[in-house]
Amino acid sequence: MMPDWVDEAAQRDALDPLGWLPDRYSHPADTLYFDGNSLGLQSDTARAAVLGTLQNWAELGVMGWTETSPPWFTWVERVSAQIAGLLGAVDGEITLGSSTTVMLHQLLATLHPSSGSRWKVLMDSSAFPTDRYAVASFLQGRGHNPRSSLVLVEPRSDRLLHAEDIVRLAGTDVALAVLPSVVFTTGQTLPMEELTRDLRERGVQVIWDLSHSAGLLPHQLHWDRIDAAVFCTYKYLNGGPGAPGGAFIHQSLWPVQPGLQGWWGSANERQFDMTAEFLGAGNAHALQLGTPSILALSALAGSVSLLSEVGIEALHRRALDLVSFLDALVRERLTPLGISVLTPSGERGGHLALAHPEAQALSLVLRDRRVIPDFRFPDIIRLAPVPTTTRYRDCARVVSVLHDILTTEAWKPYQHVRPDVL
């Protein structure tokens, strides 16, 4: 690493107003962690909240649903309201439960018209697989052939999605679009407000997958008049492995008639009436299905309290600074060695996507050297300098390690290894 970059990183760390934040998280020992976009690290607040819940469970058993302060029974509402503050939503527009995939099935079942001349679903061919499986199986369940009912927009030769291609494919038979706020491979952001508006003018509602932006981008979901969204809470919201899925549905679409009904979607005051007929919450909470995991919600609540203290604007500013710094380093040091940056500079989410024909072998050597990136088939290494846990010096170090691996061709022995998990 050229000393001026190391100095520059040290200077940035010294001047960083959020330099204290990474110290609030546990980091795997002797490891450079660049995978916070897969699983965010554990904050001291998340840990304390889980321990508190274990204690309450031990002391109260079932009485915890009503006798903890606040009662477990209200935790979905409470934690959702905290997350609403980070996503620019108003109270009742966000709910939590199950998983992102289940929430997507729920929103499809809720928003897709069961009859009429519009039934197709538009999505990008590079969508995260679970989104594609959910949409295809949903269409099949409604009696539509997924092959002819899925309208797929392809990335262009620059490997990026272009908003005009998406709008062009929204024909008069398309009912819904499922689109990512940040493309999980390339890290490209899409113009959500503009696309939602243009697609609405064509009669199409959009379900956004915010998994790679919730807790990172300063969304204004309510004020941008976004229709609906799902999101992961274990990435930039640091809710822990398997943390609940999230869903957003705009107030203008209330009262919500959930396509899938479960007793936790009931209005709170009626849930224990145990009526035969479903009396839903009317807002996003009507999308809940079964009993939420209070342990999982505890970790998320603890994490989100710290994120809310920092504020989404400050987190986003730090994320942008970190990713721009990493991008500049990569372009100067690694581009001459055959790495190309796929993430467009003006449309960046939280991670940088680096392409190299030997990306898989490179990511294996990185892991052996205790650097945790992730690999996406066939040729992408994702590096996420996340605003909560990464420091500028980590960016300088990861580039230095990659530089060494590339110049010494240390990836060669790993060329034909096919690991199960990366």
| Chain positions contacting ligand PLP, by CB under 6 A | 99-101, 128, 130-131, 180, 184, 209, 211-212, 232, 245
Question: How far, in Å, CA of 333 to CA of 354, rounded?
Answer: 13
Q: Which parts of 20-97 fold into alpha helices (H)?
A: 44-60, 64-67, 75-87
DSSP string, 92-143: TSEEEES-HHHHHHHHHHHHS-SSSS--EEEEETTS-HHHHHHHHHHHHHTT
Task: Decide: 79 and 304 in contact? Cβ < 8 Å.
Answer: yes
* Smaller CB separation from ligand PLP, 329 or 386: 386
Q: Which is nearer to ligand PLP, 33 or 184 (CB)?
A: 184
48, two tokens: 């304390």
φ and ψ of 341, to 5 deg: -95, 120
* Closest to ligand PLP by CB, 105 or 356: 105
- Compare residues 92 and 245 and give the one whose CB is closer to ligand PLP: 245
Q: Decide whether 75 or 184 has the Cβ nearer to ligand PLP.
A: 184
Distance spanning both ends of the chain, measured CA to CA: 26
Question: Shortest gap between Cβ of 245 and ligand PLP (angstroms)?
Answer: 6
Residues 6+ apart with CB under 8 A from 67: 60
Q: What does the block give as tokens for 194?
A: 């503009």
Of 169 and 229, nearer to ligand PLP (C-beta) is 229
CB of 161 to ligand PLP, least distance (A): 14
Q: How far is the CB of 393 from ligand PLP (least distance, A)?
A: 27
CB 328 to ligand PLP: min, Å: 26
Instruction: Show Cβ contacts of residue 182 under 8 Å, excluding neighbours closer than 6 positions.
Output: 188, 189, 190, 212, 213, 216, 217, 349, 350
Q: What is the smallest separation between the CB atom of 79 and ligand PLP, expressed in angstroms?
A: 16
Shortest reach from residue 384's CB to ligand PLP, in Å: 12
